[in-house]
Amino acid sequence: MLTAFARAFKTPDLRKKLLFTLGIIVVYRVGTHIPIPGVDYRNVQICLDQAEANQGLFGLVNMFSGGALLQITIFALGIMPYITASIILQLLTVVIPRLEALKKEGQAGTAKITQYTRYLTVALAILQGTGLVATARSGSLFQGCSVGGQIVPDRSMFVTITMVITMTAGTAVVMWLGELITDRGIGNGMSILMFISIAATFPSALWAIKEQGTLADGWIEFGTVMIVGFVMVGLVVFVEQAQRRIPVQYAKRMIGRRSYGGTSTYIPLKVNQAGVIPVIFASSLLYIPALIVQFSSSTAGWATWIQKNLADTGATPHIILYFFLIVFFAFFYVAITFNPEEVADNMKKYGGFIPGIRAGRPTAEYLSYVLNRITWPGSLYLGLISLVPTMALAGFGANQNFPFGGTSILIIVGVGLETVRQIESQLQQRNYEGFLR
């Protein structure tokens, strides 16, 4: 492993890419600690030090921003507007024929969709920035904080607009940094920045568990959490690498004097075909009712019920609904991203067939059958992994930003495996030895 690192840094172009990526990461982390104009930084730190400051409805977004959201810095919105815009465009591609046609145009169409994603990201950043400023001004950002309403002392229109513009510009810079990593660094830039944001919250979250522990000054709880974390990482790596390979045979074709085809390949169908998207969808959907109650400040019966059963992550209705939403969105996302009929038509067009299955409609039905069968264990796995923070709340008294939660572990492991795979492929091109041996 260490020799592979040494070989990676000895290769000039690979070393340049790695150092460039590390430089962009440093710039990104510096930006997450620069407060925006108009915010009282001392009051923010007072609220962050209080026990309830990290237990709001903004835990998921705060995790994706590397803790910058609750510190209200220039990169407070982080990568979330871009993630949301990408998901929206991906869903609209199935609905809007124009976007579907662009997707089929190849590189030119993909570039156009990327441009639309950038525009939508800026629009969402303006919307989310306005919401964040309004929440900070009302004192709802830090629940239970004595100085929560004094986070933004100056409430003039000029200061508010300046704050929103600053956060929107910060989101645009984050998007640009991610694209720079993709073009000139190693791995997917947006995924790398998301990885760094989540990993940055690990040390403080782990130390908080140690400080809150009672057995042997908290070291027993700390060790138990670390062991559980390693077991979870191993489980996630195992499931994320698992796939069902459907064999595909291509018939030989004679074009002129040359023979084409006659090769054997396979269609890899992952057990977790949907990735982390169902967890993000389910979390976002469950946050909406609680946000409505928080902004309305209503004390009616329906608001009390939502606060008690949906806003509380440890409540039984919340857990059951969260689990079933993840399972539903896993099937939904797989259905809109993998089209068995399109795959079957492409195979038929190029002379491919699955041994024992007729080409055309029978192939599409077979692919749909196999996909449904493997999506069930994948969706149940996602639901169970995502409930780990709830179990941690009960077992260790941790907050909802438990470091080895489902969303964080899925992203950390997925991005880590993909980045290592890219470094390994570049090393094999030069040294014929992989990154991991």
Each of the 437 residues of the chain gets a pLDDT tens digit; together they read 556 667 777 777 888 888 899 999 999 988 888 888 888 878 777 777 764 444 445 666 677 676 777 788 888 888 888 888 888 888 888 788 888 888 878 788 888 888 999 999 999 999 888 888 887 887 777 766 766 567 888 778 888 899 899 999 999 999 999 999 988 888 888 888 888 888 887 887 777 777 776 667 778 877 877 887 788 888 888 888 888 888 888 776 666 666 655 677 888 888 888 887 888 788 777 777 777 776 666 677 777 787 777 766 667 788 888 888 889 988 988 888 888 888 888 888 877 888 888 888 888 899 999 999 999 998 998 888 887 766 665 555 555 556 666 677 888 888 888 888 888 777 777 665 555 55
**How far is CA 296 from its chain centroid?**
29
- The CA distance from 345 to 59, in Å, is 44
CATH topology of domain 1-200+411-437: Preprotein translocase SecY subunit (1.10.3370)
CATH topology of domain 229-404: Preprotein translocase SecY subunit (1.10.3370)
| pTM score | 0.79
Phi, psi at residue 126, to the nearest 5°? Answer: -60, -45
**Structure-block tokens of residue 8:** 């990676």
Instruction: Indicate where the chain has its CATH 1.10.3370.10 domain(s).
Output: 1-200+411-437, 229-404
- The CA distance from 171 to 27, in Å, is 14
**How far is CA 133 from its chain centroid?**
24
Three-state SS for 268?
Answer: strand
- The CA distance from 22 to 414, in Å, is 19
**Residue (of 87, 77, 95, 75) closest to 31 by Cα position:** 75
**Structure-block tokens of residue 42:** 């001392």
Three-state SS for 269?
Answer: strand
